Chain A
Amino acid sequence: MTNEQLNSGNPRVDIEYRRKKNAEEMRHQVISFALMIFLTLIAFVAVAYEEFSGWFVVPFILLLAGVQVIFQLFYFMHMSHKGHEAPKLFMYAGMVVAFVTILCYTTIIWW
């Protein structure tokens, strides 16, 4: 994690490293923020545009929502950083179990 202090005697090294890291971090956040605004606009347009049927719009904006969740988790909640392996593993495992369960219900159990 970027906030951690480095074990260097020279305070300048630490500060410069952190400044560089922070700048990079900021750039990522701005880019993903712009992308998220853009995706939100697309979602609004898709709903507003009357030519598209509901069968296209609903899955489409759900897909966009999924992308937004990923942005949120990885860039704003810092899941792209080191030290998040266990939460990631559990989230993925939970998603797989939930997905398989729902797949099961919809395909073979409720006919």
Chain B
Amino acid sequence: MSTIAQKKGFGATLWDYLTTVDHKKIAHLYLIAGGFFFLVGGLEALFIRIQLLKPNNDFVSAGFFNEILTMHGTTMIFLAAMPLVFAFMNAIMPLQIGARDVAFPFLNALGFWLFLFGGIFLNLSWFMGGAPDAGWTSYASLSITSEGHGIDFYALGLQIAGLGTLIGGINFLVTIINMRAPGMTYMRMPMFTWTTFIVSALILFAFPPLTVGLFLMTFDRMFGANFFDAAMGGNTIIWEHFFWIFGHPEVYILILPAFGIFSEIFAIFSRKRLFGYSSMVFATVLIGFLGFMVWAHHMFTTGLGPIANSIFAVATMAIAVPTGIKIFNWLFTMWGGSIRFTTPMLWAIAFIPSFIMGGVTGVMLGSASQDYQYHDTYFVVAHFHYVIVGGVVFALFAGAHLYWPKMFGTMLNEFLGKITFVLFFVGFHMTFFIQHFLGLWGMPRRVFTYLPGQGFETSNVISSIGAFLMAAGVIVLLVNVVITSVKNEKVGNDPWEDGRTLEWALPSPPPYYNFKQLPLVRGLDAYWLEKMDGKKGMTPAEPIGDIHMPNNSFIPFTISLGLFIAAFGAMFHGDEGNTWGVPVLIFGLLFTLGSMFVRSIKDDHGYHIPKKELLDDKDLGGKA
């Protein structure tokens, strides 16, 4: 492979992306796939809001509405928010710690393809006899009686996608523990890297319960087991516990990277060191730890009894403390800073009040006795959209604008970015603020319609108009992306001019080996320190030498494809008169195992970029 950039045909580019093990290209893949599913989930949200626009609406049928709302939640959490978060982790985290790639590039690619095939499998349900319809939580007694194959798509699709996420999480953990550049101690890691680290640990501990729960569900529905069937001696509550032992850490898996992105933004655009860095680290660890101790607050009305409810209510409220620490640190970072109101900074500033509103309703819901009033009303819907949209989605938009130059080498248009922000911000509050009141007035969640004369009409109209404003904001962003890509004006290494961490010392986008020489890190905000000392780039920590690189591989794709095929066999083998189910299941699994076998016996030692090539090549990564 040569370092000289050549113009490649479409086929060559496609093959390059299908086989890539480069963390930057995998980040592109995650961004594109996650972005696509985000649009799909957004369309589903619009259908929900159109249906609820007026009382007794018949835009969709009741059954179809259940499918749409289930797929909206599942798609947005598993197929949009998680991969988009992973996109930024992949793109930025190795650069921030001064690594040439993640620890296991092959596994990184495998994680992506597993996620993608899981996501495609789940969405094929639309064309193959109906989507899952038991809500994104898929509570057992409802989901095991659901007819058709909808829930089978849910169980198998999430199983495959979840495997990918687990692999990705372990990969990030090893990367951060083992591959930090010389001088990059734990307490010098940028905040986004810290949150990636904690989130990966949460993934490691939280995804196995989901895997187990989904396997039990798979066996109950497709292979005649009775884990959740009370009549056969099973226990339907087990699913709820498994789901929420996973599900509660999952929401922290989403929000902590958002906190990381905002921490970077506040520091960069206030031109100040992040206030209370060590307390931020402490708060992140504490949130991660407490996240495992509160799952039953989703189940207050299940009937666990007053003692369990009280303990989980207290534990839940304890989480407000570290979150409060973070909020105050962000405010103090801005205090006295020389603030620039760029698009990412606008999202970050808007995030603070929006997220606090979601946090306050969270504490209200966390109070067990009150929860009996709020449970299954639109109040809950308003709450979790305030934290997930006001926290995670704002961070994804902010991160997209902030890191676009680092990922693609071009700057998104600031003016259009601000239009996106205004439309989305106004639309978001319009849609969800009124839903608090709808809930308090008694509108239950997950209903496909409501009757006139109950006082819900005007509020639902307002809510639906807000949803369309959000959609308009997203369309402006898409236009922005197209315009930026067509113009293709390349920018330098530090396009925001106030970059603090290592990634801004590299060209945009960085060369495929990231660092020609590993940088020497002298403190927190490594690149900022060097800039303040009047240097142009990082001090190298090693002489220029050969760089060992991994070879591209198509095997991650085939491993994932095998599981994708096997899932069809597992799902249809129980149908009346089905003969091909079991053979397809076995074939798919053998395909996967065979791919893994090839990977094991084939010697693949990668290749070296010779020193001479690096020395000849003055432009690429010379500064770092």
CA distance A109 to B307 in the complex (A): 9
Contact B292 A108 (CB under 8 A): no
Q: Within 8 Å of chain A (Cβ to Cβ): is B188?
A: no
How many contacts A-B (CB < 8 Å)? 27
Seed contacts A108-B304, A108-B308; 4 additional CB < 8 Å A-B pairs = A93-B205, A100-B293, A108-B307, A109-B304
Task: Name B311's contact: one of A90, A97, A108 (CB within 8 Å).
Answer: A108
Q: Mark A76-111, 1 if CB is under 8 A from B, else 0.
A: 000000000010001001100100110011001101
Within B246-300, the residues touching A (CB, 8 Å) are: 289, 292-293, 296
List the A residue with the shortest CB-CB distance to B299: A109
Q: Within 8 Å of chain A (Cβ to Cβ): is B91?
A: no
- Report A-chain residues with C-beta under 8 Å of the C-beta of B296: 104, 109
* In the A-B complex, the 8 residue pairs with the closest CB atoms: A108-B308, A86-B177, A97-B292, A108-B307, A97-B205, A109-B304, A109-B308, A94-B205
Within B202-255, the residues touching A (CB, 8 Å) are: 204-205, 241, 245
- Report B-chain residues with C-beta under 8 Å of the C-beta of A109: 241, 296, 304, 308
Count of interface residues, chain B, beta-carbon cutoff 8 Å: 16
CA distance A90 to B204 in the complex (A): 10
- Report A-chain residues with C-beta under 8 Å of the C-beta of B534: none
- The interface size bin for chain A is 10 to 19
Q: Which residues of B contact A (CB under 8 A)?
A: 173, 177, 201, 204-205, 241, 245, 289, 292-293, 296, 304-305, 307-308, 311
- Report A-chain residues with C-beta under 8 Å of the C-beta of B201: 90, 93
List 24 interface pairs A-B (beta carbons < 8 Å), by A numbering: A86-B177, A90-B173, A90-B201, A90-B204, A93-B201, A93-B205, A93-B289, A94-B205, A97-B292, A100-B292, A100-B293, A101-B292, A104-B296, A104-B308, A105-B241, A108-B305, A108-B307, A108-B308, A108-B311, A109-B241, A109-B296, A109-B304, A109-B308, A111-B305
- Report A-chain residues with C-beta under 8 Å of the C-beta of B304: 108-109
- Report A-chain residues with C-beta under 8 Å of the C-beta of B311: 108
CA distance A14 to B511 in the complex (A): 41
CA distance A109 to B292 in the complex (A): 15
- Report B-chain residues with C-beta under 8 Å of the C-beta of A94: 205
Tell me the interface secondary structure of chain A in the complex: helix
- Report A-chain residues with C-beta under 8 Å of the C-beta of B205: 93-94, 97
List the A residue with the shortest CB-CB distance to B285: A93
- Report A-chain residues with C-beta under 8 Å of the C-beta of B289: 93
CA distance A105 to B295 in the complex (A): 12
- Report B-chain residues with C-beta under 8 Å of the C-beta of A97: 205, 292
Least CB distance from B347 to A in Å reads: 33
Least CB distance from B177 to A in Å reads: 5
- Report B-chain residues with C-beta under 8 Å of the C-beta of A93: 201, 205, 289
Instruction: Identify the interface centre among A94, A105, A108: most chain B CB within 10 Å of its CB.
Output: A108
List the B residue with the shortest CB-CB distance to A98: B205
Task: Name B245's contact: one of A86, A101, A111 (CB within 8 Å).
Answer: A101
List the A residue with the shortest CB-CB distance to B302: A109
Least CB distance from B246 to A in Å reads: 11
List the A residue with the shortest CB-CB distance to B177: A86
Least CB distance from A67 to B in Å reads: 25
CA distance A100 to B241 in the complex (A): 14
List the B residue with the shortest CB-CB distance to A86: B177
- Report B-chain residues with C-beta under 8 Å of the C-beta of A104: 296, 308
Least CB distance from A92 to B in Å reads: 12
CA distance A87 to B442 in the complex (A): 50
CA distance A86 to B173 in the complex (A): 10
Least CB distance from B595 to A in Å reads: 29
List the A residue with the shortest CB-CB distance to B291: A97
Least CB distance from B11 to A in Å reads: 43
CA distance A94 to B170 in the complex (A): 14
Least CB distance from B239 to A in Å reads: 14
Least CB distance from B184 to A in Å reads: 15
Least CB distance from A76 to B in Å reads: 23
Least CB distance from A85 to B in Å reads: 9
- Report B-chain residues with C-beta under 8 Å of the C-beta of A100: 292-293
CA distance A93 to B305 in the complex (A): 28
- Report A-chain residues with C-beta under 8 Å of the C-beta of B307: 108
CA distance A108 to B201 in the complex (A): 27
